[in-house]
Structure 1
Amino acid sequence: MVVLVVCLVGLMTVYDYINLKSSIDNEFSSLQNQTEDSIAAALRLDDTATTIMDDQLNRQMISGFDVLFAEYNRSGGNPAAMNLEKVKKTLGEGYDIYVINESGVIVYTTYPPEQNEDFRKIPYFYEYLTKVRQSQGFFPDRVVHESLDTGKYRKYAYQATPDHQYVMELGYASPSFNETTLKMDDMNNIAESASFNPYIDQYSVFDMMGHNTSDDSLPDNRTESYVLQVIANRQTLQTDDPMNHREIRYLFVDMKNPRYGSDMSRIVEITYNTGRVQDALNHLVFIHLLFGGCALLIGCILAYAFSRQMNRPIVKIAHDADIIASGDFEHRIGTTQAREFVILEKSINTMVDSLKAATQRLKDDEIFRRDLIDQMPVGIFLKKMDTGRYVFWNRASEEIFERPATDVIGKSDEEIFPAAMAAQIKGEDAEALASRVEIKYKKITTKMHGDRVIHMIVVPIYDSKRSVRYMLGIAEDVTDEAMTLKKDLIFSITRSDILDQLAIIMTYLERAQLKTTKDDMQMFFDKTIGSVESIKNQIAYVGALQDPGLITPRWQSVHQAFAEAIQMLPEHSVDIKADIGDTEIFADPLLPRIFFSLLSLSFRRDGSTLSKIQMTTQRRGESLILVYEDDSKGIPTREKERIFEFGYCHENIVSLFLTRELLGFTGITITETGEPGRGARFEIVVPKGRFRPGK
């Protein structure tokens, strides 16, 4: 009920507010247009009356020019020789004479205050005087204020001299102009128009010189800048003052008459009080809130009375529901006297029976899943990420890590393992979070079985909000499989290499039997010794299988591993270079044997013409590339991928299947990218995190 009342009052308030605001805005705009039209009409009416008076004085001014030009002709067209005071006396009281040169400056006059007045300060009027000087005939002007701030009004007229060097100007100030001025800027008419608009606070009228027509004063700097802007653009300008709820309009009333030089247009500054509009809107909102508050209070009282009557059975049902929620599914919702809650009682009791059955099924399913996972042959463990404590540890995990579940469940890595191993596990979790999965071979040391190789998979488990909730680990002991794979590699390569070296020894010995001199025989024996040394090194690597560390990947210097591979080669004249710096990579301990496999392939493939081999490094994105190249005849295009197949052998090419597999233990890949006929080229790509600068 409360929400309903609030919504209804709110909707009504918003609706009425929008309607009233629209209505007031329309009224304000309409009244504003009507007022400004009335003010403009009043000013134009006054201007029309003054224009009629100006027209009546034009004949009088033309007669005055006849007297003036008679004196001009007498002086021989030289204004300096004219007797202007005599002409003024002849014309009568109120007249003054002005002689304006082509620069717009009054050079001679009977009115000293305006001597040397420069009309270039009034661009539009100077342009008008230039037009008069270059024309012929009589040019009347309006009754206007003097250019000096004397407060007097004069009627002016202009006529160019026959030689168009000067403009003769007559000014006439009649005593009757005092009454005329009241008609020129009649503030009573404007005040009457403004009185019908309640939103107008004040108004002022300015002429085209920027003077206030009521007292001929200049406005303040801010108002003057707006007035000058209106004069320049001859358009109405509006400014807003929202802080003081004011809207100021500078109304431009265009009354320029092309017949006259003076521009009688007016700028009316009108200040509107928009605060009254907001006051009306605020009053509306207050009335609505008052009635809404009263309705809300009444509604709350009624709601409280009804709720007191209805909440008794609800409290009883809630009490029974709390008992059921605590786990007592044998409890039932008691009966109430209210018919409205009978269906609710039956529904809750039915729900309790369903929950009881579902809970039993969940328990059975949980036991089944736990026993199923517990019997799996691989280790499975689960750790909560918020606490870092283990919540599951199956039997296979107990056997692999030789730690019972009772010593692990509920504890963190720091409480179970040594500090170094706990830090390593923390790093593995961070890598799993970064790559969504971490797969690696890991060496552990157990009390019963010693060093073991564990194949680990660590996967983060997310909840519905995409936050990591658990870290799932899967572990498998692959010590025997890893050792067998490496034995196969070493035996396969070593057997082939030893046979090759024995064949070389037999060849040298047969040739030595044909030699008769001691020096020739000694040369063949020296070459035979090189092959024997190679066989010795090969057998030494076979013995390395007894080293437990052989099964665990570790950080190794690429330069050192490549140098060890070169030592296993027999005597040769091939130029072998390694421009690989001091880079280390995380790879299988048999890395030297892997490099030796590539060297052996180069010698077998084209040993007679082979002249150089080089190993270099380069960066590609976030990976490190080890590039192995020789100048043999290369690998045919159709064989580039087949050489990595298991058991492949063709034209002195031995399969590199085990080489690719051993590199793959730590995520390293190898491909052949050379051009046939231009040498073999292998690219070994080491991913990010598997290489680093050497120590």
Structure 2
Amino acid sequence: MLQKTESLAHLGSWMLDCRTGQLTWSDETYRIFNRTPGECAMTYEAFPSAIHPDDRAIVDATYLNSLVDGKDFYTIEHRLIRTDTGEVRYVIELCEHLRDESGQIVHSRGLVHDITEHKLAELELLRKHEELQAAHEELAATEEELRASFDDLAGRQRQIQESERRLADIIDFLPDATLVVDESGCVIAWNRAIEKMTGIPKAEMLGQSEVPLHGGARSILIDCILRPDGATDYPYDIQTIDGEIFEATVDLAHLDGRDVTLMIRVSPLYDQEGRRIGAIEIIRDITANAAMERKIERHVAELSRQTNRLAVANKKLSLMNSITRHDILNQLTIFLANLSFVREARDSQDISWYLSRMEDAADLIGRQIEFTRDYASLGIQTPEWQHISSVVRSAAPDGLPIEDESGDLAVYADPMLTRAFANLMDNTMRHGESASRVRVRYLLEESGDLTLVWEDDGIGIPPDEKELIFRRGFGKNTGFGLFLIREILEITGITITETGEHREGARFEMHVPDGMYRVPTTSAS
């Protein structure tokens, strides 16, 4: 938060250990001096290299004299020069000395305020002021020459008009779109930049009280100054700067044929006696910057997705490598061993038994290869909305009778969801023993989540195996079915557990997070 505050205020800080010469800068100080933290050890002796050559002597002398004279505090304005670009920056430095118990100065600390924009504006205003002053003197001379023809009032009016014209010229040539309104909200200045931005000429806007840039008569940012208690329907979030300056960022559609993002800043205008006479609004088109930020965010999000996909791919490759090199080789060993026994056997009954073992091994190898194919496809395609009734019908056309109570329920899941339900039916038929039917239904939870239930009337799952059945390789067959189901569901955050009572049937509950399902307005079962 401190770094953000320093950055917004263009205010850096530093600390000098007078005993060691070690100089410590804040991040904003590094930014102001155009240095990179850690690029070199900062000491007082290295500090002057960042100061403008014409200011180094006075900066050094001011600091050393404050030590000699025993001053506890001083301020100084000076220039910096950036070695890579030659750009000159203006700063104000405030220094305070800290003493130990004996009164000796042991530390110096200070603040560095980047006032470049203010200084450049001040110099520009000074130049304009000098022009105005010269014009004023010229008018005064003209007034003296024409005193016989014009009275004093006419001369003053011309002087005021000339000053107003020059002030209008200054506003007119500002690079940012700028408008000025009086206390009643009528436009009294509309510069060239805002003409270009809106396509509306100055002649059509002067004296108007509705600014089409903001969409007509609704509240606009400048109302924060003119009508702070009456205007509340602002179409954007507003930040307050120094209590009187207001700033906001707004997206406008079809402005001059484009969709744009604008940064708007307004501040009050006062006369020489301190009375508010209106307000000025400055508008800057930051569309390119905003688009770049959004592009960066998209790239970061895509990079994150690619990283996650790579992690999933690595996991699958590792698992498939394990299956290929271990499980399949084990079954081949069994197959070849029984083949050797067949060659040596003389009894037909023994041969049949060995052939049966070989057939089982070959079948298991086929299942393992089929699993590697399915697992390699997992997560490759984009998840999609799928109606559970259609998935159930497609997954188990030749299985046990199904009481489908899912209605129009749709779930956002991997396209292999059909395979997950096919494996559930396969599990029921292989291990359910006495199972004669399957029931599919769902429950809406108070948390907003949904529980999708697959249950049968078979033998059920023993309590000590309820979690083991989801591990790869567990069980009498390949041990891949329930493992693959959990992997498919987890892609979109769906979890699965077995909660049935042993000997009363298996019950698989799939927990679907809020936002990952769609249900009709009728109540769930």
The TM-score, its normalising length taken from structure 2, stands at: 0.35
Q: Larger radius of gyration, structure 1 or 2?
A: 1
The TM-score, its normalising length taken from structure 1, stands at: 0.27
Instruction: Flag the structure with higher helix content.
Output: 1
